Amino acid sequence: MNLNPLNTETLQNDASQAINYLSHYYENVHKYPVRSEVEPVGFNWIASPAATELEAIVLDWMGKLLNLPQQFLFSSGGGGVMHGSTCEAVVCTLAAARDRALDTHGEEKITKLVVYASDQTHFTFQKSAKLVGISPRNFRVLPTYSSRDFGLSPTKLTETIEADISQGLVPLYVCASVGATGSGAVDPIDGLGRIAKEFGAWLHVDAAFAGSACICPEYRHYLNGVEFADSISMNPHKWLLTNMDCTCLWLRNPKLLVDSLSTNSEILRNKASDLNEVIDYKDWQIALSRRFRALKL
């Protein structure tokens, strides 16, 4: 419709057609299919309650499919978020771990924080660590062996952490893989998790592609010990055949993530957020704007 507000002869008719169209739409809105092209920009809950609520629901669904411990579900105080990539999930959880550690040990310890991974861990972890200010000097790549199916040895991790502590360093974050990209290696999450816990380090489980397989009961044992993890991520856009981009990240304590990533801009202030009763996903990710990814999952 070409509505020309300057033409007084046609304006009345055009405007009434527009109003008819809108009221017809509102009356019949339930008959229109919701398509994945629907793109509200759901920064926070108030910007798109539907996108926010549905995302929380599908994260709990996926968490239950993977038989994750209750602690990762919204229904039990944990929760999840959709990111565009595993890299983002790792950057964000590293930032949360870093801020928690600096809170405990003092800001001046930023140069002392150490992260741990195996020589099979995805290279995205190295990049993410650099992005949050971890010196490459404090990035430990622990060797793995074919005799142990390239899994990261808990004994090796303990030895390395103890050596670092004796040098005045602070263990920050352990990245365990369930399905390393190059070799398919699975790290023993249970053993690594107990150690991370003992030394106050964050344990992240990167199950980017192979995580989907753990939906099958016969493969679920690869996630045994995930109850010791602080966070776990997997990409439905890999083996679960969801289209790009779709990474699920669950956290045991989402507050740590929100504390690290939240912003408080006057232009986004609203009653729902002020009452602390809603999820504002802008505080769970790097960017402000976000897509309605829940629909495709």
Ligand X SMILES: *Cc1c(COP(=O)(O)O)cnc(C)c1O
**By C-beta, is 180 or 223 nearer to ligand X?**
180
In the bound complex, what is the minimum distance in angstroms from residue 238's beta carbon to ligand X?
A: 6
Contact 297, 82 (CB under 8 A): yes
Q: Residues in the site for ligand X, rule: CB under 6 A?
A: 85-87, 122, 124, 177, 179-181, 206, 208-209, 235, 247
In the bound complex, what is the minimum distance in angstroms from residue 122's beta carbon to ligand X?
A: 3
**By C-beta, is 112 or 151 nearer to ligand X?**
151
**By C-beta, is 122 or 290 nearer to ligand X?**
122
**By C-beta, is 164 or 206 nearer to ligand X?**
206
In the bound complex, what is the minimum distance in angstroms from residue 245's beta carbon to ligand X?
A: 7
In the bound complex, what is the minimum distance in angstroms from residue 261's beta carbon to ligand X?
A: 18
DSSP for the chain?
Answer: ----TT-HHHHHHHHHHHHHHHHHHHHHGGGSPP-TT-----SSGGG-HHHHHHHHHHHHHHHHHTT--GGGSGGGT-EEEEES-HHHHHHHHHHHHHHHHHHHH-GGGGGGEEEEEETTS-THHHHHHHHTT--GGGEEEE---GGGTTPPPHHHHHHHHHHHHHTT-EEEEEEEEBS-TTT--B--HHHHHHHHHHTT-EEEEE-TTGGGGGGSTTTGGGGTTGGG-SEEEE-TTTTT-PPS--EEEEES-HHHHHHHH----GGG--HHHHTT-S--GGGGSS-S----GGGT-
**By C-beta, is 47 or 205 nearer to ligand X?**
205
In the bound complex, what is the minimum distance in angstroms from residue 262's beta carbon to ligand X?
A: 23
**By C-beta, is 117 or 161 nearer to ligand X?**
117
In the bound complex, what is the minimum distance in angstroms from residue 208's beta carbon to ligand X?
A: 3
Cα–Cα distance for residue pair 241/257, rounded to 1 Å = 28
In the bound complex, what is the minimum distance in angstroms from residue 86's beta carbon to ligand X?
A: 3
**By C-beta, is 193 or 280 nearer to ligand X?**
193
In the bound complex, what is the minimum distance in angstroms from residue 92's beta carbon to ligand X?
A: 12
**By C-beta, is 79 or 179 nearer to ligand X?**
179
Q: What are phi and psi of 232, to 5 degrees?
A: -145, 140
Query: Which is nearest to 91 in space by CA: 285, 288, 290?
Result: 285
